[in-house]
Amino acid sequence: MPDQEKKSLLYKLKPFTDRLPAISKPEGHVHFRTKMLWVILILFLYFVMTNVYIYGLDKSTTIDLFAQYRAIIAGASGSILQLGIGPIVTGSIVMQLFTGAKIINLDLNDDEDKAVYQSTQKFVVLVMIFVEAIPQVFGYLSPSPIFSHNIGVLASRVSVFGIYPMLNSGKVLSQIIIIVQLFVGSYLIFLMDEIVSKWGIGSGISMFIAAGVSQQIFTGALNWYPAPTAANGVAVTGPLANAPVGTIPKIIYVLFHVPLGQLTSSGFETLMLGQPNPVTALAGTIAIFLIVAWTESTRIELPLAHETAKGARGRYPIKLIYASNIPVILVAALLANVSMFSYLLWTNPAMMKIPLIGHQAWLGTYATGSTTPTGGVAWYVSNVNGLSDWLLPMINPSYALGNPQLQNHTFLQIAAWIGTFTFVYVLGAILFARFWIETTNMGPKAVAEQIESSGMQIPGFRRDPRVMKRVLERYIPTVTVLSGALVGFLAVGADLIGTVGNATGVGLLLATGILIQFYDAIGQEQMMEMHPVLRQFFGG
């Protein structure tokens, strides 16, 4: 434990953060069936909450600031889960950056410091809920006029000490009610994540992401309803005017309803590349799934032997994706916040007046009624959605017509967009991978101490944490960088090819990795409850 004079200032928050609502850990072993029941129950509640819409919201004027990142935010536009896991992930980013930069003086190998870190992170999450909710509600999640009027009438009847005139005829009060609903939804998600982590299997956040992305992929591949408009708002014309939205029903429709002459003239190109859900997107989705499945099983295994128990051997696996998919979640969440605040600075009447950054074209420009940037820094780091978003406009500028995101940009600008987007994702994933490894006790020093405390050693080397640390430093730092770069490239690659259901490359990458890890976790849980003889037979 650190000396009293060297303790972090965060210890002063401990009396408050320790009183925040939390889920208690189980006192004993939780049976596998009980864990699965908790997982199913929480997943059911999550889908219910995505359909609980904000009371009093004017849906006709609602603008979703996180539309580009909805797949990984794990929420639903207009519902009490409008913010999704955004505040949780953003809070984690803030804590990791401050800890990694040594601004926060906490030793995460120390139990007391680690407890302070975790409790402070809960407090930061609460702060981030308001930071993300208030700008949206006072700008783009407007209460309906009828709701504001009714709340104003009610407030005028119970008004005390002249507070009512400050509420602007009930509008401000109705906005506060919407903020409270967003706070309740976001904090329930936070507690549900704790329930899954302590009483279920895996991570609640991961499960919510996988559930949302799987739903998008399922509907994107199998939706049989026709699309009234294209993804960019242009009416669908030609041989596929009445075709279903889903890729597979669209293929079947073409085979039975489109004449061969129309198909060869323009229908084939539209089917393969045209939004929504082209065939290339389905092919890209399948390819990324197979690549991630292969990389998840690729690892380096260091042999271990017990110091005293002769014949007792083991292996410490260092996966190719050592830092898991967490780095791309953090990068995507960071870019989602960049997109949100650049949009607010461009369109919000109050924030437009902020000196140097308010309504500045270099930061981000937006078309009226759209949350997709059309220029500035926000455009260069915005998401790509398939070949029709970048490759076709680079080949023929006429493909950019009708798409405000591209129609005013040259070949070099589009190339710079793709290059910047790729560079930011890959570099960000590498940096966050390094932070993640250090803050989760997966670095060489922490792993060496874990191996040493278990009584194991690497055969041929002296049993000393410093020796083991030097051996692990040959592998873990390099694999960490490769891990971050690989998941970054996979996420960008999926976006460049396109994904069905507009699940985004990050969403697809995360969902695939999460489902594979969840399957492995289920196998480990079942093996833990096997008879020792059976466990040894199955390789446990």
Three-state secondary-structure class, residue 79: strand
> CB under 8 Å to 146, separation ≥6 — which residues?
none
Position 4 scores a pLDDT of 42
Decide: 50 and 61 in contact? Cβ < 8 Å. no
pLDDT band for 485, please (50, 70, 90 cuts).
very high
On whether residue 265 sits in a domain, the answer given is yes
More confident residue, 309 or 185: 185
pLDDT band for 163, please (50, 70, 90 cuts).
low
Most confident of 48-57, 150-159, 165-174, 462-471: 48-57
Residue 31 DSSP class: P
One DSSP character per residue, 264-333 reads IIIIHHHHHHSSSS-HHHHHHHHHHHHHHHHHHT-EEEEEEEESSSTT-EEEEEEETTTTTTHHHHHHHH
Whether the per-residue pLDDT at 127 is higher than 80: the answer is yes
Whether the per-residue pLDDT at 215 is higher than 70: the answer is yes
Per-residue pLDDT averaged across 453-472, rounded? Answer: 76
Q: Which of 409-413, 440-444, 530-534 shows the lowest per-residue confidence on average (mean pLDDT)?
A: 530-534
Using CA atoms, how far residue 213 sits from 101, 150, 175, 270, in Å, is 33, 38, 30, 25
Check the CA dihedral 523-526-531-534 and report its sign. Answer: negative
Burial class (CB in 10 A: 0-12, 13-18, 19+), 370: middle
Q: Which of 84-88, 208-212, 343-347, 520-524 shows the lowest per-residue confidence on average (mean pLDDT)?
A: 520-524
On whether residue 422 sits in a domain, the answer given is no
Position 1 scores a pLDDT of 44
- C-alpha–C-alpha distance, residues 237 and 412, integer Å: 30
Per-residue pLDDT averaged across 158-166, rounded? Answer: 52
Angle (CA) 210 211 213, round 5°: 65
Position 46 scores a pLDDT of 92
On whether residue 50 sits in a domain, the answer given is no
Strands (E) across 29-128 are located at none
Whether the per-residue pLDDT at 103 is higher than 70: the answer is yes
On whether residue 60 sits in a domain, the answer given is no
Three-state secondary-structure class, residue 373: strand
Position 237 scores a pLDDT of 56
- C-alpha–C-alpha distance, residues 470 and 487, integer Å: 26
Q: What is the pLDDT of residues 261-272, one digit of tens each?
A: 766 666 677 778
The structure's pTM equals 0.74
On whether residue 235 sits in a domain, the answer given is yes
**% the chain with pLDDT above 70:** 86
Most confident of 109-113, 232-236, 248-252, 262-266: 248-252
Per-residue pLDDT averaged across 407-427, rounded? Answer: 89
**% the chain with pLDDT above 90:** 11
> CB under 8 Å to 410, separation ≥6 — which residues?
none
Number of domains in the chain: 1
Q: Which of 430, 428, 451, 454 is nearest to 441 (CA)?
A: 451
More confident residue, 353 or 17: 353
Per-residue pLDDT averaged across 343-356, rounded? Answer: 85
Query: Residue 301 — left, alpha, or beta (φ > 0 → left; ψ -120 to 50 → alpha)?
Result: beta
Position 147 scores a pLDDT of 85
**Interstrand relation of 373-375 and 313-319 (parallel, antiparallel or unpaired):** unpaired
Position 182 scores a pLDDT of 92
On whether residue 188 sits in a domain, the answer given is no
Whether the per-residue pLDDT at 531 is higher than 90: the answer is no
Q: What is the pLDDT of residues 105-124, one digit of tens each?
A: 777 667 777 778 878 888 88
Q: Which of 79-83, 256-260, 264-268 shows the lowest per-residue confidence on average (mean pLDDT)?
A: 264-268
Q: Reduce the secondary structure of 187-235 to three states and give it as a string.
A: HHHHHHHHHHHHHCCCCHHHHHHHHHHHHHHHHHHHCCCECCECCCCCE
Q: Residue 35's Cα: distance from chain center in Å?
A: 24
Mean pLDDT, rounded, of the chain: 80
Position 534 scores a pLDDT of 46
Domain of 253?
224-276
HSE value, Cβ hemisphere, 13 Å, CA-based, for 96: 22
On whether residue 260 sits in a domain, the answer given is yes
Whether the per-residue pLDDT at 202 is higher than 70: the answer is yes
Most confident of 77-81, 336-340, 383-387: 77-81
Interior/surface letters 107-135, b for 16+ CB within 10 angstroms, e for the rest: ebeeeebeebbebbbbbbbbebbebbbeb
Decide: 350 and 135 in contact? Cβ < 8 Å. no
Position 165 scores a pLDDT of 52
Q: What is the pLDDT of residues 63-80, one digit of tens each?
A: 777 776 777 788 888 899
Whether the per-residue pLDDT at 175 is higher than 60: the answer is yes
On whether residue 293 sits in a domain, the answer given is no
Position 162 scores a pLDDT of 53
One DSSP character per residue, 154-198 reads HHHHH--TT-GGGGTTTHHHHHHHHHHHHHHHHHHHHHHHHHHHH
One DSSP character per residue, 423-443 reads HHHHHHHHHHHHHHHHHTT-S
More confident residue, 287 or 459: 287
